[in-house]
Amino acid sequence: MAGEFLAEETAVLGLKVYALIAISAVAIVAAAVLVILFLLCSGDRRRWRESRVKHSSGLIPISSKEAKVIEDVDLGSHGEEQELPTKEMLRRSRASSSSAASSSEAAAAERMGNIGWGRWYSMAELEDATGCFSDGNVIGEGGYGVVYRGVLPDLSVIAIKNLLDNKGQAEKEFKVEVEAIGKVRHKNLVGLIGYCAEGPKRMLVYQYIDNGNLEQWLHGDNGRISPLTWDTRMKIAVGTAKGIAYLHEGLEPKVVHRDIKSSNILLDKHWNAKVSDFGLAKLLGSGSSYVTTRVMGTFGYVAPEYASTGMLNEGSDIYSFGVLLMEIISGRSPVDYRRPAGEVNLVDWFKGMVGSRRVEEVVDPLIREQPSPRALKRVLLVCLRCIDSDAEKRPKMGQIVHMLEGDEFPFRMEHRSPREANLNNLAAMTNRLTMLSENVRAADSERTSMWR
């Protein structure tokens, strides 16, 4: 009887019952297969998107290893640049853990919180840390933007540089700092620990240095006796030199800072120097001896050959360091129009004082205990060599570190009486100074007229 029923014709195209049942079963199975394939493809696309989120680091160079020790850092191991974190990433990273997919979204947020080399901060996090960027948290301000002090929920203190978007300068400086020191860790360089990029906003997050900058301690109102002793000043000078030496000689490609000056040397409570502000830095590959660029920097610190030609290399930083070292020794600004005509330019005044054998008078009178003649002459020689008008004759930063730290007197010493040796040493310095003055005078005049 069942067989007769299955053999009966139906109203659907005159098909037998058993044929109609078979066709329906096949259709159901096909639909199930299509649903399964769709779900599998959706999962693959989701995993692919999550993989892109995980490995995308905005404008941060990708490297296979995190830089945890100085020797492992290599700025040359860049990957492809990816897009900056999008609003969708932000929405997903801040999704509520109570949603249906809370566990997977929390994992995605954790991955996005550590994009590439450092922490990715949302605007909301930085607003909370700075009290909505209140004026009371401003710790620095300049043409680049404003720096704020911030406190994170774990009570760690950070410094946040809010870059001004002046004709695309914020985006440019953002890229430069990330490329230059994004993965660099050195005790004499300010650590860049994260960033924020939402819409047009570009912010850089640094470790917070709690003792101001060198300019404030050299030129601020600090009383009749400077808190910076000679030994402290030399400690700052050596630390600064080590930081610059690492940029020049410890990285590939090397980094030319291009704006070495006292306000960019931050100090911690133990007077350890940390070089900061890499917004003007340039990368210089091993196959290049210089890079031609628009002249940038701070008047008084800029090397004469760079000011006149725009050809930049590490010698430009060395000249700037020489001026900085003179500033540390004397307590004078590189350019001070309040002083008499012959003393406005620190380099000219300094060379004149050494040339006339009045070396003791170049030392900041606010230092309680003056340095020994031996220590002073060693540092004066470093200054003279750093500002040599021939950039090729300037020492490398590694050599400068050795000269500042070395116990050996840098002049050739023979068996002479102390008085005779001192006179001969001063005469040698004077002769060298005369040659330097003749070579540099024309370049200095050209540089001064250029910057006016």
Helical pair 17-55 and 102-112, crossing angle rounded to 10 deg: 30
For 370, phi and psi rounded to 5 degrees? -70, 150
Going from the C-alpha of 25 to that of each of 5, 11, 18, 202, 387, the distances in angstroms are 18, 18, 11, 60, 90
Q: What is the pLDDT along the chain (452 residues), one digit of tens a residue?
A: 556 666 666 666 666 766 767 777 777 877 877 777 666 655 554 554 444 433 333 333 323 223 333 333 333 333 333 333 443 443 444 444 334 333 433 343 343 344 345 688 999 999 999 999 999 999 888 767 899 999 999 999 999 999 887 656 677 777 777 766 777 789 999 988 888 888 888 898 998 998 999 999 999 888 889 999 999 999 999 999 999 999 999 988 889 999 999 999 999 999 999 999 887 888 887 767 778 888 888 889 999 999 999 999 999 999 999 999 999 999 999 999 999 998 999 999 999 999 999 999 999 999 999 999 999 999 999 999 999 999 999 999 999 999 999 854 444 433 445 545 554 555 555 555 555 545 545 555 554 444 44
Active site residues: 259
- The number of C-alpha atoms within 13 Å of 397 and in the hemisphere containing its C-beta is 29
For every residue of 238-290, DSSP letters joined together read HHHHHHHHHHHHSSSSEEE-S---GGGEEE-TT--EEE---TT-EEE-TT-S-
Task: Name residue 138's amino acid.
Answer: V
Residue 307 in 3-state DSSP? helix
Place of tokens 């990957």: 79
Instruction: Give the integer Cα–Cα distance in Å for 49 and 112.
Output: 12
**Secondary structure letter of residue 16 according to DSSP:** B
The domain ranges of the chain are 83-95+105-207, 214-451
Is CATH 3.30.200.20 the classification given to domain 83-95+105-207? yes
Look at strands 157-163 and 201-207 and give their pairing.
Answer: antiparallel
CA neighbor of 317 nearest in space, from 250, 387, 251: 387
Instruction: Give the integer Cα–Cα distance in Å for 259 and 281.
Output: 8
CATH of segment(s) 214-451:
1.10.510.10
Rg value, the chain, Cα: 32
Topology agreement, domain 83-95+105-207 and domain 214-451: no
Do 395 and 228 contact (CB within 8 A), yes or no? no
* pLDDT at 83 (0 to 100): 36
Instruction: Give the integer Cα–Cα distance in Å for 230 and 421.
Output: 24
For 213, phi and psi rounded to 5 degrees? -120, 170
All residues at 6 or more sequence positions from 121 whose CB lies less than 8 Å from its CB, including other chains: 194, 195, 196, 203, 205
Residue 205 in 3-state DSSP? strand
Instruction: Give the integer Cα–Cα distance in Å for 351 and 75.
Output: 38
For 164, the token pair is: 């001004």
* pLDDT at 308 (0 to 100): 92
